[in-house]
Structure 1
Amino acid sequence: MLALAVSLLLLALLDGLFPPSIPAPDAGQAAVVLDRHGEPLRAFPDHDGVWRYPVDLQQVAPVYLDTLIHYEDQRFHQHLGIDPLALLRAVGLWIRHGRPVSGGSTLSMQVARILEPHDRTILGKVRQMLRALQLERRLSKQQILKLYLDRAPFGGTIEGVQAASFAYLGKPASRLSDAEAALLTVLPQAPSRLRPDRWPERARQARDKVIERMQTLGVWTAERAAAARQEPVVARQLDPPSLAPLLAQRLRGQAPLEPVIQSTIDGELQRRLEAQVAAWSRRLPPASSAAALLVSLERQEVLAYVGTAAFADRERAGFIDMVQAKRSPGSTLKPFLYGMALDQGVIHSRSLLIDAPQDFDGYRPLNFDQRFRGPVDASAALQQSLNVPAVALLQALGPARFAAQLQGAGLRLRMPRGSAPHLAMILGATEVSLADLVMAYGSLGSDGHTRALRYRLDSPASLPNPLISDGASWIVADALASTPDMEEARSYFNRAHLPDFAVKTGTSYGFRDAWAVGSSSGVALGVWVGRPDGTPMPGHYGAISALPLLRQIFEGLPAELRRPARPRPATVAAAEFCWPLGRLRQDTEAEHCRMRLQGWSLNRQVPPTLAPAGESQPPQVVRIQIDAHSRRRINASCTAVHDVETISYASWPLLALPWLSRADREANIAPALADDCAQPDAGGNLQIIGLREGDLVEAARGTATLELAVHALGASGRVRWLLNGQWAGESDPGQALQIGLTDSGPALLVAIDSENRHAQVDFEVSLNTN
């Protein structure tokens, strides 16, 4: 009795002096980022390069736990770490066959060997049994089983059932089938020899032995076992998953201690977008890349995140996340400017804007194609992405106010160092990320409010931030969904295939960034194309380099994401407007309504037409007195007696006159004064010298280009010249301008001075190239 007591005391002493090595729950663990359905996106090994993802018992399919215990250790819940019956059976088989046939190891003993590997000797087996007893003394059965689930070897650097399920089967261990549970049960017995990615037939045979054991034990019916045998052994190559690698890396960096991070990404959509972006990038010049971001507006969840065209490609700088990179947005901020202008009562949807050369305190913007369209309504100006009308609106609204409203809604602008918000920012002279742009465009598909993008399923929904009103966002989206914003885009972007999708393209200065961003009532989607190092890609711009890819992505989305347009808000009403005054038709006298346009009013506001830069007065009704018989104008200086009649006309902005019909131009000019009336000192008229109305300008035979010297007489300030609506240059008063003529046919030359007075000449060009 004393000897037994001494022995027990000695064992307790040795147990205290030499405790088993039990790792902490989070020791050396790897991590995995999952998609919204639990599929792995990207796996991160631990510091030793081992792929291990701890799981709770509740996170593993019950069929796996059931199969594991019945196949490996049927009396797991009854023994104290050692199963004497199993040991006796193992010894008997050893004697019978002359070699070890069955080890008799319990799951507790297997965990002990995993934690402290040893040689396959009798001393090693004794040590393993003692360690198993120590584990049983310190841990519960569930804790021991969890250690096995987390650390059992499955081949290569794969440890644990969760890592094995992800690596070989591409799914979490919670979704194992009967056949897959049997496969992962037997694999740790000989992981190198049974790896299903290398030896599928060996793996199948071993798996079938487990299935047969489950049937023999009566755990599975014959039908269930037969069905499990029919399932083929199909294993993925043992490569860690790498979907949405840049996002996964970002999420892992934000939560380095979390072993499992579940993102909002839809794995199937992610694969599709990555393939589409990669295929598109192969058409692009060397060292270029592309990015795409897809967001569901229902909960502002990111469904697909493609930060680079080629993650492993050093030439394309695939390690740079272009979804988060700050880049010049080109014209993509214009929709929010128009929305703010609608809210502030600066414009309505069909307000008259003038696309003509204008001077904004020394800033003279040109259009992308260097052409000018003259009078244009607000919706068309946005659709065609015209620069001068946008700068005019920003000047009316105020750059600081515009930038502050964007920043307040979460659109984080980065201005050049030392620079305050300025007019050029609406054309791209600032920087913003694709993520922020897509978030902002989501407001056009919802209620005008932005909401922070959600990248994790457990992230709380953010409070909405007002950007523009519900009504303004609807009017802007309606304009963008009506027509491609550039004529060249028609061959690439068939609007009939993209109903109810409001899209805007943009190109940064020097062809460094090409954008296409849009939204519907279901999703917001953005595409960026360019070089990550910021070097130009000449000839690549939004309509041809980004828009086709956006169209391809949107057309491939499932039907549930392509929802119909949202209803028109109550604050938006259909209306008919009159030019040039900009008023409602019913509030405008018929003779003052030179052009009618159907559009939308917001909150019953009908703002008048803006005055272009350099003109002190907006269009208005001009009332003058004339002689009823001669129809000539009279004033207080007239010496004769006249039969007075008052007439009126609606004045057009002076900048619009070169684009008006002859009838509209004549209607905008007051009649000449009667002979007995003194002429006011209004200065001389602007005249073009060097070319006359109706001239034929003919080049010598064989000449493909003709240089023409012209200057403006009577000009005030610098003169801006247009040839066939396209920018031709500037000149000082009295200074000649050399204009190159390269096309035969009718031509129109227009000169506009600093007071927006204009002169124009129609002429004919003949180039004899034969």
Structure 2
Amino acid sequence: MVGLLVGLGWALDAGFPLPPRPQYSPVVAAADGSVLHAFLNPTQKWRMKTELREITPALRRAIIYKEDRYFYYHCGINPLAIVHAAGRNLAGRGRTTGASTITMQVARLLEPKARTWPNKLGEMLRAVQLEMHYSKAEILQLYLNLVPYGGNVEGVKSAALLYFQQPPDYLSLAQTVTLAIIPNRPRALVLGRSNAAILQERNRWLRRFKQAGLFPRQAIADALLEPLDVQRHPAPARAPHLARRLVRQFPGQAIVASTLQRGKQTRAEDLTRNYVRRLHPLGITNAAVLVVNNRTRAVEAYVGSADFTDALSQGQNDGVQAVRSPGSTLKPLLYALAMDKGLVTPKRQLADVPTNFSGYQPENFDRHCQGEVPLDRALAYSLNIPAVRVLAELGVPTFTGKLRAAGFRSVARNDSRLGLSTILGGCGATLEELTTLYVTIARAGQYAPLQWTTAPAARLPTTGSRGEQKAQPAASTPAAPPPARGTTLISAASAFLVTDILAQLTRPDLPVGYETSRHLPKIAWKTGTSYGRRDAWSIGYNQEYTIGVWVGNFSGQGSPALTGADIATPLLFDLFNTLAYNSPNTWFQPPASLDFRLVCTETGLPPGESCPNQLIDYFLPGISTGQRCQHQREALLSADGQVMYCRACAPTAGFRRERYPNLLPEVLAFKEAQGIPYQRLPPHNPACQLVSGARDQAPGITSPLANTEYVLNKGEHQQLLLSCTTGNEVRQVYWYVNDQFLRVAKATERVFFRPPPGPLKISCADDHGRNTDVRVRISEF
């Protein structure tokens, strides 16, 4: 007997192949399983897949009692029902019926055909075949996914969401029975247009169910009193940008289970839309937001634009994936890497003076310099020049290599063309990449990609034996993804130090009005503004969440008001106060790999011989430099203090020792230009015949820029500026053009001259015999 059934099944499969599985409407679900966004299926129908867990006992009992009371007892066809229907039809008594079981209806819905006796026989064969491949639960699931509800609406889940705005397992008994009675008359009973007729039919069936004892009497009584005031609603359309992204990533999958939290997504969308609406008078039309759970790296809110439907502002562009200039948002990574290399510590003094980096002359955002600043202030105040100096010392390849390791795709594509401007936004980055970077800092330097989906959605099986439950029901609340294992991008020590700096409240990028606000969240954050004020960034984090915000225009048009501090940070604070207001009140703790030490306040280095002023600083034992402070150097002076001796020309007696500031030439030039007083060395002994050849103290030519072409207007007699930086002991410099002496000048003097056209060699020698050359080209028009 078993062999006969197996043979029959094989014959049916060979000559009567199973129809293709239904084409469902792609659905993106939230982490709790609710539908965030739904799309039409390829045949332009709303056919959302009803999962097994969504088929409630009430729905199952109502459908089976109404359509096929012997569903669990037959093998696809009900012989008694066929005989009974044939007798009624031949006798012409009552309504003509076809004795279709639920399985036979599934066969017809899978392959719609004209209702003829040959087609009816084909349905019976197909029903037997389906029963051999699917369990009863799966057949009922197929039926509920295919039943028509008028127009282009098919399936219980589609009807429940479009008319009741609830999934099937959230419906009341009255709503459940309403959906159970419509499929037999989808054209006559149209929800929203035939509510009165549907109400009458619903109550009639409720009374029949009462007589059959299908549901408790009180439940029936309550259902009879429930009104039916329903109309069709738009399909769910939350997180439109991420929904399209996931559907493209998982083609053909009926349900994509995202990590988004429905409540957070809704609030983030509303906050962003309302905030950008207030920015329109400033010429700012869009924003993007990404909210990440730091513990799991799961994305819990994703806002690609302020309004997806706003075509004028290009709202369908995805600001989370758009490549933009990151401004200053990469500086925390730079300083963390420099700490890991032992180059700096938080109190290490950095030069913040106009500097020429082989032709590249960066400026601070406010175009002012502060002379020398500690690293923590340079980062908190987002100073540009110190950051470029640190990048020059660290090395661009080292920095861009870490960006590649952190998933910065645009950097990976353009790595060979990137230079020192990278740290000021001279590379491309997305909000997704930047937010991932800050999640990495929040996770003690451990990098791993963000999590977008939970467990994959269950799929209907293609083969199986009768009674097998091949498609497992999804959990009512899908579990969050486990914490992703990462790779070490920066050390836990440098991650903590950067966080400690970014959590300071004494900084210029604190929005106006927030200084004493009780609504200021406890976060570490960094702002950024791209060149031309085209992009405003603000990215913040605590132990629980990282939130990234971009504000700007997709057209690339800038706005004078567009800065990270004034425009992006208020939205960041609103998001933290709304989405993470109940985060645990804990903060990052310093790792065991950190320690304290005393450093000189003048340099931030361990104290040397003459460092009376000291303070406490963090450092990384075994990594941070142990170089002693040399902010002052000893000089040998004549008895009257008018002449300085070098070791070669110092007399045997009649001199004295004094200490003078040991400043960088650039810092000296800055102090001279700003009129800042400092203790300057007296001139070197004029009687000394020794000429110093040290190249490291040679003058640095700051103008003109090396390897640059200058185009001058011939009629306006334009001139070229000559300027340089020198050591503390230099009093005079000598300028040469094409090896021809031009003039002598003070070390800090700005010299102008009329250059001849063509290639030029500009040379500068100081009064110690040290020389520097640059080459430029002069063109005239």
TM-score (norm 1): 0.76
Cα distance 1:392–1:214, how it changes in 2: closer, same or farther (>3 A)?
Answer: same
Structure 2 residue 512 is the aligned partner of structure 1 residue 497? no
How far has the Cα of 1:291 moved from its partner? 1.0
Q: Which of 269, 273, 296 is equivalent to 1:274?
A: 269
CA distance in structure 2 between the partners assigned to 1:602 and 1:234 by the alignment: 69
> Hey, what does 2:220 align to over in structure 1?
225
Cα distance 1:89–1:717, how it changes in 2: closer, same or farther (>3 A)?
Answer: farther
Cα distance 1:191–1:576, how it changes in 2: closer, same or farther (>3 A)?
Answer: farther
Secondary structure of 1:528's counterpart equals strand
Stretches of structure 2 lacking an aligned partner (at least 5 in a row): 1-7, 456-480, 701-720, 724-730, 737-747, 755-763, 769-781
Cα offsets for 1:75-105 (capped at 9, x unmatched): 3334563575699699989999x97499876
> Hey, what does 1:138 align to over in structure 2?
129
CA distance in structure 1 between the partners assigned to 2:394 and 2:259 by the alignment: 38
Q: Which of 137, 147, 159 is equivalent to 2:142?
A: 147
Cα offsets for 1:407-426 (capped at 9, x unmatched): 12323343786853310110
Cα offsets for 1:130-188 (capped at 9, x unmatched): 45533443222555433311210123211112322333344443454434422321232
Cα distance 1:733–1:23, how it changes in 2: closer, same or farther (>3 A)?
Answer: same
Secondary structure of 2:579's counterpart equals coil
Cα offsets for 1:360-402 (capped at 9, x unmatched): 1111101112111222110111111110000000000001111
Structure 2 residue 432 is the aligned partner of structure 1 residue 435? yes
CA distance in structure 2 between the partners assigned to 1:291 and 1:424 by the alignment: 25
Q: Which of 593, 597, 601 is equivalent to 2:619?
A: 601
Structure 2 residue 662 is the aligned partner of structure 1 residue 651? yes
> Hey, what does 2:776 align to over in structure 1?
none
CA distance in structure 1 between the partners assigned to 2:490 and 2:231 by the alignment: 49
> Hey, what does 1:513 align to over in structure 2?
535
Give the aligned residue type for 2:259.
T
Q: 1:71, 1:214 within 8 Å by CA — same for their partners in 2?
A: no
Give the aligned residue type for 2:59.
Y
Q: 2:534, 2:556 within 8 Å by CA — same for their partners in 1?
A: yes
Structure 2 residue 24 is the aligned partner of structure 1 residue 29? yes
Give the aligned residue type for 1:23.
P
Cα offsets for 1:617-671 (capped at 9, x unmatched): x8444123468x86777747566953x654445534454468889xx98774457
Structure 2 residue 641 is the aligned partner of structure 1 residue 623? no
Cα distance 1:333–1:574, how it changes in 2: closer, same or farther (>3 A)?
Answer: same
Cα distance 1:489–1:401, how it changes in 2: closer, same or farther (>3 A)?
Answer: same
Structure 2 residue 269 is the aligned partner of structure 1 residue 243? no
Q: Which of 296, 315, 318 is equivalent to 1:318?
A: 315
> Hey, what does 2:326 align to over in structure 1?
329
Matches within 5 A, 1:353-432: 353-414=350-411, 419-432=416-429
Q: Which of 257, 265, 272 is equivalent to 1:262?
A: 257
How far has the Cα of 1:112 moved from its partner? 5.5
How far has the Cα of 1:711 moved from its partner? 10
Structure 2 residue 505 is the aligned partner of structure 1 residue 483? yes
> Hey, what does 1:7 align to over in structure 2?
none
Cα offsets for 1:466-496 (capped at 9, x unmatched): 2211010111011111136535734367675
CA distance in structure 1 between the partners assigned to 2:649 and 2:284 by the alignment: 74
Give the aligned residue type for 1:139.
L
Q: 1:374, 1:659 within 8 Å by CA — same for their partners in 2?
A: yes
How far has the Cα of 1:298 moved from its partner? 1.1
CA distance in structure 2 between the partners assigned to 1:205 and 1:417 by the alignment: 69
Give the aligned residue type for 1:572.
L
Q: 1:342, 1:348 within 8 Å by CA — same for their partners in 2?
A: yes
> Hey, what does 1:342 align to over in structure 2?
339
CA distance in structure 1 between the partners assigned to 2:36 and 2:550 by the alignment: 22
Secondary structure of 1:414's counterpart equals helix
CA distance in structure 2 between the partners assigned to 1:731 and 1:50 by the alignment: 79
Give the aligned residue type for 1:39.
S
Matches within 5 A, 1:48-87: 48-55=43-50, 57-78=52-73, 81-82=77-78
CA distance in structure 1 between the partners assigned to 2:226 and 2:94 by the alignment: 34
Cα distance 1:672–1:128, how it changes in 2: closer, same or farther (>3 A)?
Answer: closer
> Hey, what does 2:705 align to over in structure 1?
none
Cα distance 1:42–1:717, how it changes in 2: closer, same or farther (>3 A)?
Answer: farther
> Hey, what does 2:464 align to over in structure 1?
none
Cα distance 1:229–1:301, how it changes in 2: closer, same or farther (>3 A)?
Answer: farther
Moved more, 148-157 or 422-431: 148-157
Ranked by relative contact order (alpha carbons within 8 Å, sequence separation 6 or more), the top structure is 2
Cα distance 1:471–1:490, how it changes in 2: closer, same or farther (>3 A)?
Answer: farther
How far has the Cα of 1:270 moved from its partner? 1.1
Cα distance 1:387–1:287, how it changes in 2: closer, same or farther (>3 A)?
Answer: closer
Q: 1:522, 1:561 within 8 Å by CA — same for their partners in 2?
A: yes
Q: 2:296, 2:482 within 8 Å by CA — same for their partners in 1?
A: no
How far has the Cα of 1:501 moved from its partner? 1.2
CA distance in structure 1 between the partners assigned to 2:415 and 2:107 by the alignment: 64
Q: 2:341, 2:624 within 8 Å by CA — same for their partners in 1?
A: no
Q: 1:580, 1:651 within 8 Å by CA — same for their partners in 2?
A: no
CA distance in structure 2 between the partners assigned to 1:419 and 1:530 by the alignment: 29
Cα distance 1:116–1:302, how it changes in 2: closer, same or farther (>3 A)?
Answer: closer
CA distance in structure 2 between the partners assigned to 1:238 and 1:414 by the alignment: 45
CA distance in structure 1 between the partners assigned to 2:126 and 2:683 by the alignment: 111
CA distance in structure 1 between the partners assigned to 2:332 and 2:432 by the alignment: 17
How far has the Cα of 1:500 moved from its partner? 3.5
Structure 2 residue 306 is the aligned partner of structure 1 residue 309? yes
Cα distance 1:640–1:131, how it changes in 2: closer, same or farther (>3 A)?
Answer: closer
Cα distance 1:219–1:398, how it changes in 2: closer, same or farther (>3 A)?
Answer: same
How far has the Cα of 1:192 moved from its partner? 4.7
CA distance in structure 1 between the partners assigned to 2:453 and 2:670 by the alignment: 54
Moved more, 38-47 or 325-334: 38-47
CA distance in structure 1 between the partners assigned to 2:170 and 2:623 by the alignment: 59
CA distance in structure 2 between the partners assigned to 1:181 and 1:125 by the alignment: 32
How far has the Cα of 1:518 moved from its partner? 2.0
Moved more, 291-300 or 54-63: 54-63
Secondary structure of 1:556's counterpart equals helix
How far has the Cα of 1:715 moved from its partner? 6.2
How far has the Cα of 1:565 moved from its partner? 1.5
> Hey, what does 1:186 align to over in structure 2?
181
Cα offsets for 1:330-352 (capped at 9, x unmatched): 11111100100111111101111
Q: 1:87, 1:105 within 8 Å by CA — same for their partners in 2?
A: no
CA distance in structure 1 between the partners assigned to 2:573 and 2:39 by the alignment: 34
Cα distance 1:257–1:118, how it changes in 2: closer, same or farther (>3 A)?
Answer: closer
Q: 1:439, 1:453 within 8 Å by CA — same for their partners in 2?
A: yes
How far has the Cα of 1:292 moved from its partner? 0.8
CA distance in structure 2 between the partners assigned to 1:576 and 1:169 by the alignment: 68
Q: How many matched pairs?
A: 672
Q: CA RMSD in A?
A: 4.4
Cα distance 1:551–1:679, how it changes in 2: closer, same or farther (>3 A)?
Answer: farther
Structure 2 residue 293 is the aligned partner of structure 1 residue 296? yes
> Hey, what does 1:694 align to over in structure 2?
none
Secondary structure of 2:600's counterpart equals strand
> Hey, what does 1:749 align to over in structure 2?
none
CA distance in structure 2 between the partners assigned to 1:479 and 1:16 by the alignment: 72
